[in-house]
Structure 1
């Protein structure tokens, strides 16, 4: 035995990194992974884990993912997941796995683990895992379409590539950092159902739709960083309209007749991301309009996101949400802080919606660092809003009005195109969303549609923050340092 192999054996013996959980626990964690994450990570076949020569690295990685789905309030929840993470990381560092496909799958799974806030400089987290996996993928030639022509496992490799591309796009939007990949850097054909063994599986259709939406996120992230963002507004809206129009029927929340489809966690999660991107797409107008966050589109999207999170809360499925969801909670909360309210019922609805979003964030906080950052952000926004409302009341002597709706700069067709089923939802007997803010928005839209073009107001939209010149604070949400003002450094291997 060489000295290097001898030292490796000693480290493995001391750390027990290659020691798997008991069979019963292992099966339970595998079940959790394949039941709840197969639509997000369709990269691992259960047969890979149960054969006699299965990769220990890949098995530990799947156990890590499965443990993330346990209830966060269990006393050993974080420590158990962290122990799996330490084992996976050590196995990677010791280079124990000769099969690079198993290595890259393990790295893909590590993108689920994000214990630190994104503003913390650390080697532990989803952003670094995505970068490492992408570099390995490029080394393996997965960015070239010719690589797949002779590969017997081409389907699996293509899913890996598109998963990593989607992850890169999502992190570019969430963190504000430049993406590692540009579409011009690879020529891999788009995913189709032929890339899946079961082409009728809802998980396959979800994954294709998710990757397509992530591509829009990447385009949006690029436009938000671009000084000439106005040029991309129409393009992003067109991409979103096309995406929702082509969504498979089984992934829609409602049927074409307006009947609510049976609850589906993947479909719910997918629509949360969609409505979040819709809100962010409105940021492309912020250089022209100060009140973009309280536009009709933003308020409708916020109401829809809040309701979908309530559905998840009622089913106690928050533990199944991935690490990006604190970001979507923040995006959904922004219009609720930004808009002003003119009745007690609307203010009550605003507070209830924020409470639902906070409940999701609270449950995600023990495992996902971004949730703790978002909690601090919401506290600051709440204090700022309270101060401004107090000053407005003193200056104006009246309760601030919901002046955000109706407004002149929105095109009416955007509502119908971005929310094609909205009117059917509200008209159905089994009302999808009982939300006072949403009802107010829809009423204002219908009123605007009845008015002629000449009767439309030309007054700029103003929000509660605009009254005292505070809108710049909200614009800073999308600066590079939107996550927090304080940066800390953590390069330690332990968490």
Structure 2
């Protein structure tokens, strides 16, 4: 990928003066890029609407917005003719931003938020090209114009209604939480300093649109996860607070309307909706992360909820792959794949689960291969996962002879781990997955019907040199990026 430090090619120097004419996108392409945005990106980044574009011509006149929209749209659905390189538009947009060629801060914020689908910089080094850098930049600009306040001055820039400004702020809020959890960093936004009301479907042009409902549920989920992440980041001992946050996650998934639930109760995803699948991806990734055991003496142990969540993630990606592309996903999808594979590496070493765990791993590896060219994190995750799998296979992998433990696989209670004396919570683990049946996936059918063991299986023959990586990933997930690949 051009412009990335890993291949020795230096980024194009930033121009010292604005050249707005050369940076405009042709009108016909601009219309196509807008259509791509509304089809694929608007649900997770609802910062534009047709009425605003009609009433605020300065947006469509902005070269900075032109190039931000182009890099997003080309990344999502590259045309077969004309410009096909999102990096070219990224470098143009970056030069226009640092050249101060766009004076409207709301246009700046909206445009920067379209960078979400392009991550050219290494996330483990100080850089002005990472997703986290741009999220932080957009948040600082948003706070400068008062988007974090119920009654701020933002209306002086575009429009008078509150809906657009609330959608922009809560999109930034959710993205801040996603990046912080994925990279093991602190969040930028402190809710104690914010007074803007929680976004609702009435902040959208059409409150009855399912996309509006999906966005609202998405934001609420990441608000819960953000509070959990704060406890993880501060204390490294999250489960002292599990009685507060874990039931909130259960309540979130169970309170979703039928139209926003995963259609996984049967073998076929009847009524498949790409956005509903994507809504659940972050939730399932969080469940996987929370129920992986950080041990100082063995490879991480996947508890039952983690294995079930990983298998659901595999089915999500199987549905995506079957429909021809996963490129519409944000770059954090590679992190979801990596965590799911780690849980399934444990599952495949358990007698009775091996074959189906291998099938799920194959699906996830295929999806990761598709995402590698689209982001630097994808390349790093792919290399790390392949290294782990190669070493695991060399050491015996899922070969016969690995002795499972003799613990009881109980379906009456689930038990979080990662603490010396974990509290048993009086809830069934299946409550994390209200749609789950024996038809959800073959691996989950094994979990629901198995009377064997899995919860504390370890393998002393696992390669020692990757143990530090595996042991740290669950609390400091940026370790996957920063120290081992």
TM-score range, shorter chain: 0.7 to 0.9
State the match for 1:207 in structure 2.
215
Take 1:155 and 1:370, find their aligned partners in 2: how far apart are those partners? 33
Alignment pair present for 1:146 and 2:155: no
State the match for 1:439 in structure 2.
445
Alignment pair present for 1:474 and 2:477: no
Take 1:237 and 1:398, find their aligned partners in 2: how far apart are those partners? 36
State the match for 2:290 in structure 1.
281
Shift of 1:292: 6.5
Take 1:362 and 1:257, find their aligned partners in 2: how far apart are those partners? 28
One of 428, 432, 436 as aligned partner of 1:422: 436
Take 1:251 and 1:280, find their aligned partners in 2: how far apart are those partners? 23
Q: Is the CA contact (8 Å cut-off) linking 1:388 and 1:464 kept in structure 2?
A: no
Task: Label 1:93 to 1:305 Cα distance change in 2 as closer, same or farther (>3 A).
Answer: same
Shift of 1:143: 1.5
Shift of 1:221: 2.0
Deviating more after overlay: 55-64 vs 325-334: 55-64
Task: Label 1:291 to 1:399 Cα distance change in 2 as closer, same or farther (>3 A).
Answer: closer
Shift of 1:103: 1.3
Shift of 1:208: 0.7
Take 2:117 and 2:173, find their aligned partners in 1: how far apart are those partners? 15
State the match for 1:40 in structure 2.
44
State the match for 1:462 in structure 2.
457
State the match for 2:102 in structure 1.
97
* 1:294-337 deviation per Cα after TM superposition (whole angstroms, max 9, x unaligned): 21111111111001100000001311111110000011111111
Take 2:38 and 2:326, find their aligned partners in 1: how far apart are those partners? 17
State the match for 1:318 in structure 2.
326
Q: Is the CA contact (8 Å cut-off) linking 1:289 and 1:461 kept in structure 2?
A: no
Q: Is the CA contact (8 Å cut-off) linking 2:414 and 2:429 kept in structure 1?
A: no
State the match for 2:30 in structure 1.
26
One of 120, 137, 141 as aligned partner of 1:136: 141
Q: Scaled by the length of structure 1, what TM-score is found?
A: 0.81
Task: Label 1:137 to 1:465 Cα distance change in 2 as closer, same or farther (>3 A).
Answer: farther
Please list every run of 5 or more consecutive structure 2 residues that lacks an aligned counterpart in the other structure: 1-13, 416-424
Shift of 1:140: 0.7
State the match for 1:252 in structure 2.
261
* 1:118-171 deviation per Cα after TM superposition (whole angstroms, max 9, x unaligned): 113320121111101111111111112222898713111111111111111111
* 1:105-127 deviation per Cα after TM superposition (whole angstroms, max 9, x unaligned): 11111233212331133201211
One of 116, 128, 132 as aligned partner of 1:111: 116
Q: Which has the larger helix fraction?
A: 1
* 1:264-321 deviation per Cα after TM superposition (whole angstroms, max 9, x unaligned): 00001111211111111224x6469978642111111111100110000000131111
Task: Label 1:12 to 1:224 Cα distance change in 2 as closer, same or farther (>3 A).
Answer: same
Q: Is the CA contact (8 Å cut-off) linking 1:192 and 1:208 kept in structure 2?
A: yes
One of 165, 175, 184 as aligned partner of 1:176: 184
Aligned residues: 451
Shift of 1:46: 3.0
* 1:392-427 deviation per Cα after TM superposition (whole angstroms, max 9, x unaligned): 97xxx834447687268635733232112213xx2x
Q: Is the CA contact (8 Å cut-off) linking 1:365 and 1:371 kept in structure 2?
A: yes
* 1:357-387 deviation per Cα after TM superposition (whole angstroms, max 9, x unaligned): 1111111111211111111211222133224
Task: Label 1:439 to 1:148 Cα distance change in 2 as closer, same or farther (>3 A).
Answer: farther
Larger radius of gyration: 1
User: Structure 1 runs of 4+ off > 4 angstroms?
Assistant: 47-53, 74-77, 148-151, 255-261, 287-292, 402-405, 465-473
Q: Scaled by the length of structure 2, what TM-score is found?
A: 0.83
RMSD: 3.4
State the match for 1:453 in structure 2.
none
Q: Is the CA contact (8 Å cut-off) linking 2:404 and 2:457 kept in structure 1?
A: no
State the match for 2:280 in structure 1.
271
Task: Label 1:389 to 1:235 Cα distance change in 2 as closer, same or farther (>3 A).
Answer: farther
Shift of 1:248: 2.4
Take 2:122 and 2:81, find their aligned partners in 1: how far apart are those partners? 22
Take 2:16 and 2:396, find their aligned partners in 1: how far apart are those partners? 64
State the secondary structure of the residue aligned to 1:32.
helix
Q: Is the CA contact (8 Å cut-off) linking 2:214 and 2:275 kept in structure 1?
A: yes
State the secondary structure of the residue aligned to 1:389.
coil
Alignment pair present for 1:243 and 2:247: no
State the match for 1:483 in structure 2.
481
Q: Is the CA contact (8 Å cut-off) linking 1:49 and 1:59 kept in structure 2?
A: no
Q: Is the CA contact (8 Å cut-off) linking 1:339 and 1:404 kept in structure 2?
A: no
